[in-house]
Amino acid sequence: GALPGWRDVERLVGDAHARFARDSDGIVADYIPVLAEVDPELFGLAVIEVGGGVHDAGDAQHPFSIQSISKMFVYALAIQEHGHERVREIVGVNNTGLPFNSVMALELNAGHPMNPMVNAGAIATTALMPGETSAEQWERVREGLSAFAGRALGLDGVVYASEARTNDRNRALGRLLTSYGRLEGDPDEVVDVYTRQCALAVTAHDLAVMGATLADGGVNPITGQRVVSAEVCRDTLAVVAASGLYERSGEWLFEIGLPAKSGVSGGIVAVAPGKGAVAGFSPRLDEAGNSVRSQRAIGYLSRALGLNLFASA
């Protein structure tokens, strides 16, 4: 079925926000120093409908760094550029069953990154962005993600600097990919573009618009701009369903039945194809690095809105 009417969705988004307003489970990420300083009480929810309906609640307009949620949109841009087959071969589509920054996952698979939602696969995906220089690749990423959001996104320079100072592990993953012959270009430069893409500042509202663009067959429902093809959306959402919440992706799909992508700053966006997207922002995380309160509020809303893809009734 379709989404309920605008007023009903609006009421449910408000209900979901109120219901989890005092939920304080989970722990704020601290391996990126500046993320540890964020106010853990922040809590925003947003729903964007493919028909253009907008719903914001709480801190839906509070900016934060997009972090790993960037991976799903850069992946979509990479498939748009290089096609289904080539990207599948280079990056893979299977869950690693291991944490997002695992080095062991790479070693266990002869340096193949397995999927684009873990850091190694995301670094390999960023390397596929067109451009003669890493500055051009970064510009392509920024422009592409801005088209998904329907506004010009900018870098959070403080988050970028903090992460660039401490991202030895991602640099190790980049070098390891190079050592296996699985990365084009200078690995440190590719990792730098990846670090910048993770530091793009967005809001929960932006994430819902970005997700709704994937729900809408690649057309941004607010601006009307075509960003990627419908086939690219289909491919991207399949991979996100399998690995968007890392080693917790199966549990999420079993309980909620929607592709969703998380990031360590506390954002999550879930996409209901043909209907819209639901985004949450709340900084406290579970052990896999997924926002606890965003998962709960999005789960509640998905049930209330009847969004489970596997439900026939």
Of 289-308, which residues contact ligand GLN (CB under 6 A)?
289
The answer to whether 244 and 72 are in contact (CB under 8 A) is yes
Min dist CB 100 to ligand GLN, Å, is 5
Is 119 annotated to bind a ligand? Reply is: yes
Under 8 Å between Cβ of 263 and 44: no
Q: Which is nearer to ligand GLN, 198 or 219 (CB)?
A: 198
Nearest residue (beta carbon) to ligand GLN: 68
| Residue among 65 and 80 whose Cβ is closer to ligand GLN | 65
Considering only residues 210 to 269 of the shown chain, the ones binding ligand GLN according to CB under 6 A are: 263-264
- Tell whether 264 is in a known binding site: yes
Q: From CA 154, how far away is CA 232, in angstroms rounded? A: 25
How far apart, in whole angstroms, are the C-alpha atoms of residue 4 and residue 267? 25
In Å, what is the CA distance from 29 to each residue of 8, 32, 40, 97, 126? 35, 7, 10, 20, 23
Helices (H), the chain: 6-19, 70-82, 84-91, 104-108, 119-126, 134-149, 157-166, 168-179, 187-198, 204-215, 230-243, 249-255, 292-305
**Residue count of the chain:** 313
Cβ at position 253, least distance to ligand GLN in Å: 18
| Smallest separation, CB 82 to ligand GLN (Å) | 22
Is 308 annotated among the ligand-binding residues?
Answer: no
User: Rg of the chain's alpha carbons, rounded to an integer?
Assistant: 18
Could you say which of 35, 47, 60, 67 contacts ligand GLN (CB under 6 A)?
67
Binding mask 107-126 for ligand GLN (x = CB under 6 A): ------------x-------
| Tokens (6 digits) for 1 | 């079925």
Say how many residues touch ligand GLN, by CB under 6 A: 11
70 annotated ligand binder:
no
Q: Which residues are registered as beta bridge partners of 27?
A: 285
Nearest 10 degrees: Cα torsion 285, 239, 307, 40: 10
What amino acid is encoded at 12 in this protein?
Answer: L
- Tell which one of 101, 137, 213, 295 touches ligand GLN (CB under 6 A): 101
Give the nearer residue to ligand GLN in terms of CB position, either 119 or 137: 119
10 is in an annotated binding site: no
CB of 175 to ligand GLN, least distance (A): 15
Q: Per CB under 6 A, which of residues 3..32 are in contact with ligand GLN?
A: none
**Does 282 contact ligand GLN by CB under 6 A?**
no
DSSP state at residue 26:
S
| 68 annotated among ligand-binding-site residues | yes
Q: What are phi and psi of 33, to 5 degrees?
A: -50, -45
Contact residue for ligand GLN among 102, 170, 203, 213 (CB under 6 A): 170
Question: Would you say 80 or 162 has its CB closer to ligand GLN?
Answer: 162
- Burial of residue 242 (CB within 10 Å: 0-12, 13-18, 19+) is middle
Per the annotation, binding residues are 68, 119, 163, 170, 194, 246, 264
Per the annotation, binding residues for substrate are 68, 119, 163, 170, 194, 246, 264
Residue numbers at the binding site for ligand GLN (CB under 6 A) = 67-68, 100-101, 119, 163, 170, 198, 263-264, 289
